A and B are shown apart, each in its own frame.
Chain A
Amino acid sequence: MKVKTKRKKIRASFSQSSDMESSQSSDMESSDLHLSVFRIAVAQICNSVGYTGAQTSALKTLTAVAVRYLQSLAKSAANSASSTGRTKCNLLDIIRALEDLHSDVGFHGNSDRKRRLYILSDSSILIDTMKFVYLTPEIPFAKPLPRHSQTLPPNPASFSDESGKWNHVPRWLPVFPKTSDVAEETVIPAPIEDETAWEKTESNRKISKLPEKRKKVSFTIGGGGRNVIKMQSEVDLRDGICKGGKRISCQIYEDENFVSASCSSNHDLKPKPSMKKKLQDCDELIYI
């Protein structure tokens, strides 16, 4: 039938535009993503009302208005909840917020002086919404949405008053942390998959305990001979520190047998003997 084919064409164009939007939105901010998702829902609502098409600018305007409606509804509901000392909103907050939003347009019963302060079933807005739910057919959202797991962390266990000892502590506080009488165990970090060989050797060691006997490392300036020897850690000091031709020697003391590794450039700068003695005196004090 002609009508159906035309509507199908327009639905197809709607879906195409939504596909384009969803593919483009990956580059845009998250607010644009939510706007484009909302636009699809608004387009579906317009389609259910009887429209067969819409101008892009009109659709975008309606989406923006709907977003603002939703946000102002949420804000006024949150305000009414916090003004009564609560953090979580309930049905009465929502009804009050709806009445606030629709007060300029007007709704049935707004002029009633004798209505109750806490309006439930006799609020006309709620009744209209109920009628809307009963009368309009369900329109599920067109595209599948990725469902994320709950991002909020689970609430810690609240304080329970088993014995009468903790009467003075309010119940909404979390429980005390567990204190064990056993001595602290050494912390061994779990191995990570992508760590390099160096990191693996480091992580195998127990971090909480320092080794009792450590190797003493001392650096002297001006010591060392002419031979160009590479460091134990395979770092060629010629490129870095010794570029200018200064001589730095590193001595690693290991259980009183020191293995000295020194590296020097081709230029020999012989320091004065008095300076050398002073440096040697300082050497023993400097160890890592």
Chain B
Amino acid sequence: MNHNQQSNEVRHDDENALSDFLASLTDYTPTIPDELVEHYLAKSGFQCPDVRLTRLVAVAAQKFVSDIAIDALQHCKARQAAVVRDKKDKQQRDKRLIMSMEDLSKALQEYGVNVKHQEYFADNPSAGLESASRDE
């Protein structure tokens, strides 16, 4: 009846859109190479002979990484805009966008990954401490 017809139509649309998308995936080469993706998928128990599905997984991972990178880039640019500089320095800083651990940890925090980076490393626990017992 109506509901069935509607669901059938939706399914036809589904199939058309998906078949087009999967056909486009065969042309698109994701940045992560297929062999690497297949290695990690096989390691986790994912079995699929279809190349398009492995490419879909590779594209999903690529999208994830690019989303995090874009968020980190926005943090970096926001930090640069907050610091007021002369014209010369600003131009130089715009070209030097380097991904740092601070920006990455802020970006990853939104995805639920808590990354804390050591600010400095010391050779013993009492390094840098201002102790009254230090004899000079």
Size bin of chain B's contact surface: 35 or more
Cα distance A70–B58 in the bound complex, in angstroms = 8
Given A65-B68, A148-B35, do A91 and B53 touch, yes or no (CB 8 Å)?
yes
Give the contacts of A134-172 with B (CB-CB under 8 A). Answer: 134, 136, 138-141, 145, 147-148
Interface contact B101-A57, CB-CB below 8 Å: yes
Classify the secondary structure of B's interface with A. Answer: helix
Interface contact A91-B18, CB-CB below 8 Å: yes
Contact segment of B36-44, B80-88, B125-133: B36-44
Interface contact B69-A45, CB-CB below 8 Å: yes
Total contacts A-B at CB 8 Å: 169
Interface contact B117-A54, CB-CB below 8 Å: no
Q: Which residue of A lies closest to B112 (CB)?
A: A104
Interface contact A121-B13, CB-CB below 8 Å: yes
- Count of chain A residues near B, Cβ 8 A: 63
Provide the B90-104 mask, 1 if CB < 8 A to any CB of A, else 0.
000001111111011
Determine the chain A residues whose CB is within 8 A of the CB of B68 once the complex forms. Answer: 62, 65
Interface contact B36-A37, CB-CB below 8 Å: yes
Give the contacts of B24-40 with A (CB-CB under 8 A). Answer: 24-25, 28-29, 31-33, 35-37, 39-40
A residues adjacent to B (C-beta < 8 A): 2-3, 6, 34, 37-38, 41-42, 44-46, 48-55, 57-59, 61-62, 65-67, 69-75, 77-78, 87-91, 94, 98, 104-105, 120-122, 126, 128-130, 132-134, 136, 138-141, 145, 147-148
Sample 11 A-B pairs with CB under 8 A, ordered by A number: A34-B36, A49-B69, A55-B100, A55-B101, A67-B40, A77-B46, A78-B44, A98-B60, A105-B111, A121-B10, A132-B62
